[in-house]
């Protein structure tokens, strides 16, 4: 039974690693998705700016046409001025000339403002195009890195699953089933270390008689409170950290594999 408990401990170690890898696998695409959203946001912004630029440029074209017509009109009025006979007629044409010139001045002012606005928008478009290019490059590199990480993690998972299958095959089937069932119900920990009369899974005191039974390590026993399979670590079996500390300090990260390794 001691051997079986050691195997179970190994099994739980592999299961915890698999769980950790699974979380990493799920987190990877999320980070990439956030980057892609950034790219899309800048693309949308650029789209709006380019549309705005087109509108203003079209309006400037129309204004330039009007200005040419006004200029023609002014030239005609100017020519008329030389042909007027009476001073009254001269005054009327002169007024017409002045009003044409005022209109032209106004249009020229508006044109200058439009041109400045267009310059500004063009600068902004160029800046955002550059930003977008950088973001796309970053996103592409991240995509590649994510792919590499995914492949490495998947390889790791495949290796660990193989390890798990081999381990599970060496333990009594009904014990494995029980362990797996408790694991699902108890947040990933199906096995807990008993130490100083306390269950390492739920921190409840174990009945003294059960604790004595555990010390003999001849049978597979469960904690009456959390149902986890409990075992006693003797002087030879250094307890696995994860099996004792996870529930007591839920925020603590799972220690790296080397820290979990059971001395042979």
- Scanning 26-34, 113-121, 132-140, 216-224 for contacts with Zn ion by CB under 5 A, the matching segment is 216-224
Q: Given candidates 5, 167, 202, 246, which one binds Zn ion under the rule CB under 5 A? A: 202
Contacts of 132 (CB under 8 A, 6+ apart): 39, 42, 43, 46
Contact call for residues 132 and 42 (beta carbons, < 8 A): yes
Q: How far apart are CA 60 and CA 110, in angstroms?
A: 9
Q: How far apart are CA 34 and CA 228, in angstroms?
A: 39
Cβ at position 222, least distance to Zn ion in Å:
8
Q: Given candidates 220, 223, 233, 254, which one binds Zn ion under the rule CB under 5 A? A: 223
Q: Which is nearer to Zn ion, 135 or 192 (CB)?
A: 192
* 246 near Zn ion, rule: CB under 5 A: no
Q: Which is nearer to Zn ion, 77 or 244 (CB)?
A: 244
Q: Which is nearer to Zn ion, 135 or 202 (CB)?
A: 202
Per the DSSP assignment, residues forming a β-bridge with 195 are 198
- 3-state SS assignment for residue 205: strand
Per the DSSP assignment, residues forming a β-bridge with 194 are 199, 232
Q: Given candidates 226, 229, 240, 242, which one binds Zn ion under the rule CB under 5 A? A: 226
Q: Given candidates 101, 225, 237, 255, which one binds Zn ion under the rule CB under 5 A? A: 225
Where are any strands of DSSP class E within the chain? 191-195, 198-199, 221-222, 229-232
Please name the helix (run of DSSP H) or strand (run of DSSP E) that holds residue 189, with its range, or none.
Answer: none
Cβ at position 46, least distance to Zn ion in Å:
59
Q: What is the CB neighbour count within 10 angstroms for residue 99? A: 13
- Scanning 121-129, 138-146, 193-201, 248-256 for contacts with Zn ion by CB under 5 A, the matching segment is 193-201
- Scanning 16-24, 96-104, 108-116, 219-227 for contacts with Zn ion by CB under 5 A, the matching segment is 219-227
Q: Which is nearer to Zn ion, 14 or 199 (CB)?
A: 199
Query: Which spans of this chain sit near Zn ion (rule: CB under 5 A)?
Result: 199, 201-202, 223, 225-226
């Amino acid at each position: 039974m001691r051997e079986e408990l050691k195997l179970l401990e190994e099994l739980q170690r592999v299961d915890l690693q698999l769980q950790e890898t699974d979380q990493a696998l799920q987190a990877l695409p999320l980070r990439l998705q956030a980057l892609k959203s950034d790219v899309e946001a800048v693309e949308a912004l650029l789209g709006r700016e380019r549309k705005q630029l087109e509108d203003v440029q079209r309006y400037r074209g129309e204004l330039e046409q009007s200005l040419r017509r006004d200029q023609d009109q002014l030239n005609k009025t100017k020519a008329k001025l030389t042909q007027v006979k009476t001073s009254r007629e001269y005054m009327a044409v002169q007024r017409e000339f002045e009003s044409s010139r005022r209109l032209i001045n106004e249009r020229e002012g508006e044109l200058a403002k439009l041109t400045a606005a267009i310059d500004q928008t063009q600068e902004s478009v160029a800046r955002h195009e550059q930003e977008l290019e950088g973001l796309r490059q970053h996103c592409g590199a991240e995509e590649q890195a994510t792919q590499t990480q995914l492949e490495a993690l998947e390889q790791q998972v495949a290796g660990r699953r193989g390890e798990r299958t081999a381990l599970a095959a060496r333990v009594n089937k009904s014990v494995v089933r029980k362990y797996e069932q408790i694991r699902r119900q108890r947040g990933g920990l199906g096995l807990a270390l008993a130490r100083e009369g306390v269950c390492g899974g739920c921190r409840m005191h174990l009945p003294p008689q059960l604790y004595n039974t555990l010390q003999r390590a001849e049978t597979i026993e469960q904690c009456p409170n959390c149902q986890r399979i409990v075992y006693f670590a003797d002087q030879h079996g250094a307890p696995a950290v994860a099996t004792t500390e996870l529930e007591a300090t839920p925020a603590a990260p799972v220690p790296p594999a080397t820290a979990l390794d059971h001395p042979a």
